[in-house]
Amino acid sequence: MEKHNSQKQSLQSKVKASVSKFVKSESFQKKANLTKSMLEKLRDFVARFKELPYPEKMWTLNHLFIAKKAWEISTAAKDKAKQMAEDADLDKDTNGGQVSAFRHAFLMAMLVKEISPQAALKLGKAYEKTNRIFYRKNEQDNTPHDRTAEEMNMKNNEAGVRIGLKNIHKNEQEIILALKKAIHAGELWIIKKTKNNNFLDWEGNIIPKENYHKKWYNPKCLVPSDFHRPEETKTNQNNN
């Protein structure tokens, strides 16, 4: 009996020693750190998912394996677009101007380097659905979002996909140059305005603010991105 207990204790000691050695081993530590890293990434993913508006949640659920990559590209594209607001080659207009057109097209062009064109365009539609939800909830009192802006964004998303596919193997700077070229060739879309950023209708008349502010449907209209903005004159002001 004593011999049996002694053998049992010896075996337990050996097992403990082996487990202790394994836990302290480099291989185990790497696996443990990897698991910890994966859990942290998963927690970050879930936390971010919870904050997403409904349309973007649905896109994410349908594209789980590419969602994280798409988020990263979207964040980087938005940061780059902010920088382009000061670019001398564009009109510095982030509300329906060339900078706004660039932002949407650039995002799509960068996305199609990593995900399918269909998935990229669906994400673009999800963003526009989110804008419409916020508009209806009056959560963006100074929002530029309306039916014209939505149409502009969708058209520029499609243009961005086309340009991105044509430049699929180009780097970021080359894609930026391709987009600028497209903008100055009138291949993207902007909202028709004067040089002073007043909105114009189809006839070239300045639209009074009360005719478009907080109105989803209004007289704003789209023009090609190479549109030359006119000076404000007594004619287009008086026709209001």
| Adjacent-strand bridge partners of 224 | 189
Count other Cβ atoms within 10 Å, centred on residue 24.
9
pLDDT tens digits for 84-103? Answer: 989 999 999 999 999 999 99
Separation in Å, CA 73 to CA 69, 80, 172? 6, 10, 11
pLDDT for position 23: 47
pLDDT of 237 above 70: no
Residues 6+ apart with CB under 8 A from 34: none
Place of tokens 């969602």: 67
Sequence-ordered list of residues with C-beta below 8 angstroms from that of 199, at least 6 positions apart, any chain: 96, 191, 192, 193, 206, 207, 212, 219, 220
User: What pTM, to 2 d.p., does this model score?
Assistant: 0.80
- The DSSP letter of residue 190 is E
Q: Is the pLDDT of residue 4 over 60?
A: no
Q: Which stretches of the chain are DSSP H helices?
A: 2-24, 26-51, 54-62, 64-84, 98-111, 117-136, 147-166, 172-184, 234-238
Please name the residues in contact with 139: beta carbons below 8 A apart, sequence gap of 6 or more: none
Task: Report the distance separating Cα 205 and Cα 28, nearest Å.
Answer: 72
Q: Which two tokens stand for residue 85?
A: 């607001």
Over residues 149-162, the pLDDT tens digits come to 999 999 999 999 99
* pLDDT for position 24: 61
pLDDT in tens, 22-73: 446 666 556 556 566 667 766 777 788 888 899 999 999 999 889 989 999 9
Which residues make beta-bridge pairs with 222? 191
Comparing CA positions, the residue from 224, 197, 234 lying closest to residue 212 is: 197
Residue pair 107/160 in contact by the 8 Å Cβ criterion: yes
Give the separation between CA 187 and CA 223, rounded to whole angstroms: 10
Distance (Å, whole) CA 159 – CA 164: 8
Residue (of 28, 74, 27) closest to 48 by Cα position: 74
